[in-house]
Amino acid sequence: MENSSTIKVLTLSGLQEARMYRYIYFFFTLFIYLLIFFVNLTLILTICLERGLHEPMYILLCNLCINGLCGTAGFYPKILLDILSDVHVIVYSGCLAQACVIYTSVMCEISLLTVMSYDRYVAICRPLQCHTIMTPLMVRRLLLYAWLLPIALTLVALILTLRLPLCRSHIDKLYCDNGFIWKLSCVPTTLNSMWGIFIVSLQILNLLLILYTYWQIVRVCLRSSEGKVKFMETCVPHLASMASFITAVLFDYMYSRHNSKAFPLSLRNFMAVEFLVIPPLLNPIAYGLKMKLIRTRVRKLFSKFTNTDWSEK
Protein backbone atom coordinates (compact mmCIF):
# COMPACT_ATOMS: atom_id res chain seq x y z
CA MET A 1 0.00 0.00 0.00
CA GLU A 2 1.39 3.40 -0.99
CA ASN A 3 1.99 6.03 1.67
CA SER A 4 0.01 9.21 1.12
CA SER A 5 3.16 11.33 1.35
CA THR A 6 4.60 9.55 -1.69
CA ILE A 7 1.55 10.12 -3.91
CA LYS A 8 2.24 13.37 -5.74
CA VAL A 9 0.91 12.40 -9.17
CA LEU A 10 -2.48 10.93 -10.03
CA THR A 11 -3.44 9.02 -13.17
CA LEU A 12 -6.60 9.83 -15.13
CA SER A 13 -8.32 7.27 -17.34
CA GLY A 14 -10.93 7.55 -20.05
CA LEU A 15 -8.84 8.40 -23.10
CA GLN A 16 -7.79 4.90 -24.16
CA GLU A 17 -9.96 5.11 -27.27
CA ALA A 18 -8.53 8.53 -28.19
CA ARG A 19 -5.06 7.27 -29.10
CA MET A 20 -5.98 6.04 -32.57
CA TYR A 21 -8.04 9.12 -33.41
CA ARG A 22 -6.28 11.61 -31.16
CA TYR A 23 -6.03 14.40 -33.73
CA ILE A 24 -9.72 14.11 -34.63
CA TYR A 25 -10.65 14.24 -30.93
CA PHE A 26 -8.22 17.12 -30.38
CA PHE A 27 -9.55 19.35 -33.14
CA PHE A 28 -13.18 18.55 -32.29
CA THR A 29 -12.60 19.35 -28.59
CA LEU A 30 -10.67 22.49 -29.50
CA PHE A 31 -13.49 23.60 -31.81
CA ILE A 32 -16.07 23.10 -29.03
CA TYR A 33 -13.91 25.02 -26.53
CA LEU A 34 -13.30 27.92 -28.92
CA LEU A 35 -17.01 28.03 -29.77
CA ILE A 36 -17.94 28.12 -26.07
CA PHE A 37 -15.34 30.83 -25.48
CA PHE A 38 -16.53 32.91 -28.46
CA VAL A 39 -20.28 32.82 -27.80
CA ASN A 40 -19.92 33.49 -24.07
CA LEU A 41 -17.37 36.27 -24.55
CA THR A 42 -19.58 37.87 -27.21
CA LEU A 43 -22.52 38.01 -24.82
CA ILE A 44 -20.35 39.27 -21.94
CA LEU A 45 -18.86 42.09 -24.05
CA THR A 46 -22.26 43.02 -25.47
CA ILE A 47 -23.79 43.36 -22.02
CA CYS A 48 -20.80 45.20 -20.57
CA LEU A 49 -20.41 47.68 -23.46
CA GLU A 50 -24.08 48.44 -24.09
CA ARG A 51 -25.47 50.66 -21.34
CA GLY A 52 -29.03 49.79 -22.35
CA LEU A 53 -28.36 46.23 -21.11
CA HIS A 54 -27.26 47.27 -17.63
CA GLU A 55 -30.42 45.86 -16.07
CA PRO A 56 -30.69 43.04 -13.50
CA MET A 57 -31.76 40.37 -16.02
CA TYR A 58 -28.80 41.05 -18.33
CA ILE A 59 -26.30 41.54 -15.50
CA LEU A 60 -27.26 38.10 -14.15
CA LEU A 61 -26.98 36.63 -17.63
CA CYS A 62 -23.51 38.15 -17.96
CA ASN A 63 -22.48 36.44 -14.71
CA LEU A 64 -23.90 33.14 -15.98
CA CYS A 65 -21.66 33.40 -19.05
CA ILE A 66 -18.63 34.34 -16.93
CA ASN A 67 -19.26 31.26 -14.81
CA GLY A 68 -19.46 29.14 -17.96
CA LEU A 69 -16.04 30.37 -19.03
CA CYS A 70 -14.56 29.70 -15.58
CA GLY A 71 -15.90 26.16 -15.41
CA THR A 72 -14.73 25.19 -18.89
CA ALA A 73 -11.29 26.75 -18.25
CA GLY A 74 -10.85 24.18 -15.50
CA PHE A 75 -11.43 21.30 -17.92
CA TYR A 76 -10.61 21.98 -21.57
CA PRO A 77 -6.92 23.05 -21.44
CA LYS A 78 -6.02 19.91 -19.48
CA ILE A 79 -8.07 17.52 -21.62
CA LEU A 80 -6.57 19.00 -24.81
CA LEU A 81 -3.08 18.28 -23.48
CA ASP A 82 -4.09 14.77 -22.41
CA ILE A 83 -5.51 13.92 -25.85
CA LEU A 84 -2.10 14.57 -27.44
CA SER A 85 -0.18 12.86 -24.64
CA ASP A 86 0.51 9.16 -24.14
CA VAL A 87 0.50 9.56 -20.35
CA HIS A 88 -2.57 11.06 -18.67
CA VAL A 89 -1.41 12.28 -15.29
CA ILE A 90 -1.96 15.29 -13.04
CA VAL A 91 -0.17 16.44 -9.91
CA TYR A 92 -2.19 16.13 -6.72
CA SER A 93 -2.37 19.90 -6.12
CA GLY A 94 -3.49 20.43 -9.73
CA CYS A 95 -6.11 17.71 -9.32
CA LEU A 96 -7.55 19.42 -6.26
CA ALA A 97 -7.54 22.77 -8.06
CA GLN A 98 -9.36 21.31 -11.07
CA ALA A 99 -11.99 19.66 -8.88
CA CYS A 100 -12.53 22.94 -6.99
CA VAL A 101 -12.90 25.03 -10.15
CA ILE A 102 -15.33 22.64 -11.85
CA TYR A 103 -17.59 22.06 -8.88
CA THR A 104 -17.56 25.66 -7.75
CA SER A 105 -18.77 26.41 -11.27
CA VAL A 106 -21.52 23.78 -10.96
CA MET A 107 -22.83 25.27 -7.72
CA CYS A 108 -22.51 28.83 -9.05
CA GLU A 109 -24.59 27.80 -12.05
CA ILE A 110 -27.39 26.55 -9.83
CA SER A 111 -27.19 29.66 -7.62
CA LEU A 112 -27.25 32.00 -10.62
CA LEU A 113 -30.20 30.16 -12.16
CA THR A 114 -32.00 30.52 -8.82
CA VAL A 115 -31.31 34.25 -8.65
CA MET A 116 -32.40 34.65 -12.28
CA SER A 117 -35.67 32.85 -11.57
CA TYR A 118 -36.29 35.22 -8.65
CA ASP A 119 -35.60 38.20 -10.90
CA ARG A 120 -38.12 36.90 -13.47
CA TYR A 121 -40.63 36.27 -10.67
CA VAL A 122 -40.35 39.87 -9.46
CA ALA A 123 -40.50 41.29 -13.01
CA ILE A 124 -43.60 39.30 -14.03
CA CYS A 125 -45.53 38.65 -10.81
CA ARG A 126 -44.78 41.96 -9.07
CA PRO A 127 -44.09 44.42 -11.91
CA LEU A 128 -45.13 47.54 -9.98
CA GLN A 129 -42.58 46.79 -7.26
CA CYS A 130 -39.84 45.53 -9.57
CA HIS A 131 -37.66 48.65 -9.47
CA THR A 132 -37.96 48.99 -5.71
CA ILE A 133 -37.10 45.33 -5.08
CA MET A 134 -34.39 44.70 -7.70
CA THR A 135 -32.28 47.72 -6.81
CA PRO A 136 -28.55 47.82 -7.63
CA LEU A 137 -27.84 47.00 -3.98
CA MET A 138 -30.15 43.97 -4.09
CA VAL A 139 -28.53 42.77 -7.34
CA ARG A 140 -25.08 43.02 -5.74
CA ARG A 141 -26.29 41.06 -2.71
CA LEU A 142 -27.79 38.35 -4.89
CA LEU A 143 -24.57 38.09 -6.89
CA LEU A 144 -22.54 37.83 -3.68
CA TYR A 145 -24.80 34.96 -2.62
CA ALA A 146 -24.48 33.28 -6.02
CA TRP A 147 -20.66 33.44 -6.02
CA LEU A 148 -19.47 33.42 -2.41
CA LEU A 149 -21.65 30.61 -1.05
CA PRO A 150 -20.45 28.03 -3.65
CA ILE A 151 -16.84 29.14 -3.11
CA ALA A 152 -17.21 28.74 0.67
CA LEU A 153 -18.84 25.31 0.29
CA THR A 154 -16.06 24.18 -2.05
CA LEU A 155 -13.31 25.45 0.26
CA VAL A 156 -14.72 23.44 3.18
CA ALA A 157 -14.91 20.36 0.92
CA LEU A 158 -11.27 20.99 -0.10
CA ILE A 159 -10.14 21.20 3.53
CA LEU A 160 -11.94 17.95 4.32
CA THR A 161 -10.30 16.28 1.32
CA LEU A 162 -6.81 17.52 2.21
CA ARG A 163 -6.96 15.68 5.55
CA LEU A 164 -7.40 12.31 3.79
CA PRO A 165 -4.29 10.13 3.32
CA LEU A 166 -4.24 8.53 -0.13
CA CYS A 167 -3.50 4.86 -0.76
CA ARG A 168 -4.17 4.77 -4.50
CA SER A 169 -3.43 7.09 -7.40
CA HIS A 170 -5.81 6.09 -10.21
CA ILE A 171 -8.92 8.17 -10.96
CA ASP A 172 -11.36 6.46 -13.32
CA LYS A 173 -12.47 9.67 -15.02
CA LEU A 174 -11.41 12.24 -17.61
CA TYR A 175 -10.90 14.91 -14.96
CA CYS A 176 -10.50 15.22 -11.21
CA ASP A 177 -13.67 14.70 -9.21
CA ASN A 178 -13.81 15.31 -5.47
CA GLY A 179 -15.83 12.14 -4.92
CA PHE A 180 -13.32 10.10 -6.90
CA ILE A 181 -10.47 11.57 -4.84
CA TRP A 182 -12.22 10.31 -1.68
CA LYS A 183 -12.18 6.80 -3.15
CA LEU A 184 -8.36 6.92 -3.13
CA SER A 185 -8.29 7.42 0.63
CA CYS A 186 -6.95 4.92 3.17
CA VAL A 187 -9.42 6.01 5.87
CA PRO A 188 -13.22 6.32 6.18
CA THR A 189 -14.68 9.37 4.46
CA THR A 190 -17.85 9.72 6.53
CA LEU A 191 -17.30 13.42 7.26
CA ASN A 192 -16.71 14.15 3.57
CA SER A 193 -19.87 12.25 2.64
CA MET A 194 -21.91 14.17 5.21
CA TRP A 195 -20.63 17.47 3.85
CA GLY A 196 -21.43 16.30 0.33
CA ILE A 197 -25.00 15.47 1.40
CA PHE A 198 -25.31 18.94 2.95
CA ILE A 199 -24.16 20.56 -0.31
CA VAL A 200 -26.57 18.46 -2.37
CA SER A 201 -29.40 19.38 0.01
CA LEU A 202 -28.70 23.09 -0.51
CA GLN A 203 -28.74 22.64 -4.28
CA ILE A 204 -32.06 20.76 -4.07
CA LEU A 205 -33.49 23.69 -2.10
CA ASN A 206 -32.33 26.02 -4.87
CA LEU A 207 -34.02 23.85 -7.48
CA LEU A 208 -37.24 23.73 -5.47
CA LEU A 209 -37.17 27.53 -5.24
CA ILE A 210 -36.75 27.72 -9.04
CA LEU A 211 -39.72 25.40 -9.56
CA TYR A 212 -41.86 27.41 -7.15
CA THR A 213 -41.06 30.75 -8.80
CA TYR A 214 -41.82 29.38 -12.25
CA TRP A 215 -45.07 27.86 -11.06
CA GLN A 216 -46.07 31.37 -9.93
CA ILE A 217 -44.82 32.89 -13.20
CA VAL A 218 -46.78 30.43 -15.34
CA ARG A 219 -49.97 31.14 -13.36
CA VAL A 220 -49.60 34.87 -14.02
CA CYS A 221 -48.54 34.59 -17.67
CA LEU A 222 -51.42 32.35 -18.70
CA ARG A 223 -53.92 35.06 -17.79
CA SER A 224 -53.14 37.26 -20.82
CA SER A 225 -51.70 37.06 -24.33
CA GLU A 226 -49.16 39.73 -23.38
CA GLY A 227 -48.05 37.60 -20.47
CA LYS A 228 -47.57 34.59 -22.74
CA VAL A 229 -45.36 36.65 -25.08
CA LYS A 230 -43.29 37.90 -22.15
CA PHE A 231 -42.94 34.35 -20.85
CA MET A 232 -41.74 33.06 -24.24
CA GLU A 233 -39.32 35.96 -24.62
CA THR A 234 -37.58 35.97 -21.25
CA CYS A 235 -38.46 32.77 -19.38
CA VAL A 236 -38.15 30.03 -22.00
CA PRO A 237 -34.37 30.57 -22.42
CA HIS A 238 -33.96 30.35 -18.64
CA LEU A 239 -36.00 27.15 -18.50
CA ALA A 240 -33.96 25.69 -21.38
CA SER A 241 -30.74 26.53 -19.52
CA MET A 242 -32.03 24.98 -16.32
CA ALA A 243 -33.29 21.82 -18.06
CA SER A 244 -30.02 21.26 -19.95
CA PHE A 245 -27.95 21.85 -16.83
CA ILE A 246 -30.00 19.56 -14.58
CA THR A 247 -29.90 16.83 -17.23
CA ALA A 248 -26.14 17.21 -17.53
CA VAL A 249 -25.60 17.09 -13.76
CA LEU A 250 -27.77 13.97 -13.53
CA PHE A 251 -25.59 12.34 -16.18
CA ASP A 252 -22.49 13.18 -14.15
CA TYR A 253 -24.15 11.86 -10.97
CA MET A 254 -25.01 8.60 -12.73
CA TYR A 255 -21.42 8.32 -13.90
CA SER A 256 -19.99 9.01 -10.44
CA ARG A 257 -22.36 6.76 -8.50
CA HIS A 258 -23.05 4.02 -11.03
CA ASN A 259 -19.90 3.83 -13.13
CA SER A 260 -20.89 0.59 -14.81
CA LYS A 261 -18.22 -1.00 -16.97
CA ALA A 262 -21.07 -2.41 -19.06
CA PHE A 263 -21.47 1.02 -20.69
CA PRO A 264 -19.16 1.81 -23.63
CA LEU A 265 -16.26 4.05 -22.65
CA SER A 266 -17.40 6.77 -25.05
CA LEU A 267 -20.84 6.85 -23.37
CA ARG A 268 -19.29 6.99 -19.92
CA ASN A 269 -17.08 9.88 -21.02
CA PHE A 270 -20.07 11.74 -22.46
CA MET A 271 -22.00 11.26 -19.21
CA ALA A 272 -19.05 12.67 -17.28
CA VAL A 273 -18.50 15.83 -19.36
CA GLU A 274 -21.93 16.79 -20.71
CA PHE A 275 -22.35 19.57 -18.14
CA LEU A 276 -19.04 21.04 -19.38
CA VAL A 277 -20.22 21.04 -23.01
CA ILE A 278 -23.97 21.57 -23.37
CA PRO A 279 -24.88 24.29 -20.78
CA PRO A 280 -21.92 26.65 -21.48
CA LEU A 281 -22.70 26.41 -25.20
CA LEU A 282 -26.49 26.47 -24.96
CA ASN A 283 -26.88 29.35 -22.48
CA PRO A 284 -25.57 32.25 -24.60
CA ILE A 285 -27.05 30.83 -27.81
CA ALA A 286 -30.50 30.32 -26.24
CA TYR A 287 -30.57 33.81 -24.77
CA GLY A 288 -29.05 35.39 -27.86
CA LEU A 289 -31.58 33.80 -30.19
CA LYS A 290 -34.61 34.26 -27.97
CA MET A 291 -34.16 37.78 -26.64
CA LYS A 292 -34.72 40.39 -29.33
CA LEU A 293 -32.85 43.09 -27.43
CA ILE A 294 -29.78 40.85 -27.10
CA ARG A 295 -29.84 40.05 -30.83
CA THR A 296 -30.14 43.75 -31.70
CA ARG A 297 -27.27 44.76 -29.41
CA VAL A 298 -25.00 41.97 -30.68
CA ARG A 299 -25.56 43.08 -34.28
CA LYS A 300 -24.94 46.67 -33.25
CA LEU A 301 -21.70 45.74 -31.53
CA PHE A 302 -20.42 43.73 -34.50
CA SER A 303 -21.41 46.45 -36.97
CA LYS A 304 -19.58 49.00 -34.83
CA PHE A 305 -16.36 46.96 -34.95
CA THR A 306 -16.83 46.25 -38.67
CA ASN A 307 -17.32 49.92 -39.50
CA THR A 308 -14.29 50.82 -37.45
CA ASP A 309 -12.17 48.29 -39.31
CA TRP A 310 -13.34 49.54 -42.73
CA SER A 311 -12.75 53.16 -41.82
CA GLU A 312 -9.22 52.32 -40.73
CA LYS A 313 -8.59 50.68 -44.12
Residue 46 has pLDDT above 70, yes or no: yes
How much is the pLDDT for 153?
Answer: 95
pLDDT band at 16 (very low <50, low <70, confident <90, very high): low
**Please, where are the H alpha helices in 163-189?**
178-182
pLDDT band at 299 (very low <50, low <70, confident <90, very high): confident
Q: Please write the tens of the pLDDT for every residue from 190-236.
A: 898 899 899 989 989 998 999 899 888 888 887 777 767 767 766 77
Lowest mean pLDDT among 92-106, 113-127, 142-156, 214-228: 214-228
- The mean of the pLDDT values for the chain is 83
Mean pLDDT of 111-126: 90
Backbone angles phi and psi of 15, in degrees to 5: -110, 20
Residue that wins the pLDDT comparison between 269 and 163: 163
How much is the pLDDT for 14?
Answer: 66
Q: Can you give the pTM of this predicted structure?
A: 0.86
Residue that wins the pLDDT comparison between 14 and 309: 14
In 3D space, the residue among 100, 106, 135, 99 whose CA is nearest the CA of residue 119 turns out to be 135
- Note the CATH architecture for domain 4-301: Up-down Bundle (1.20)
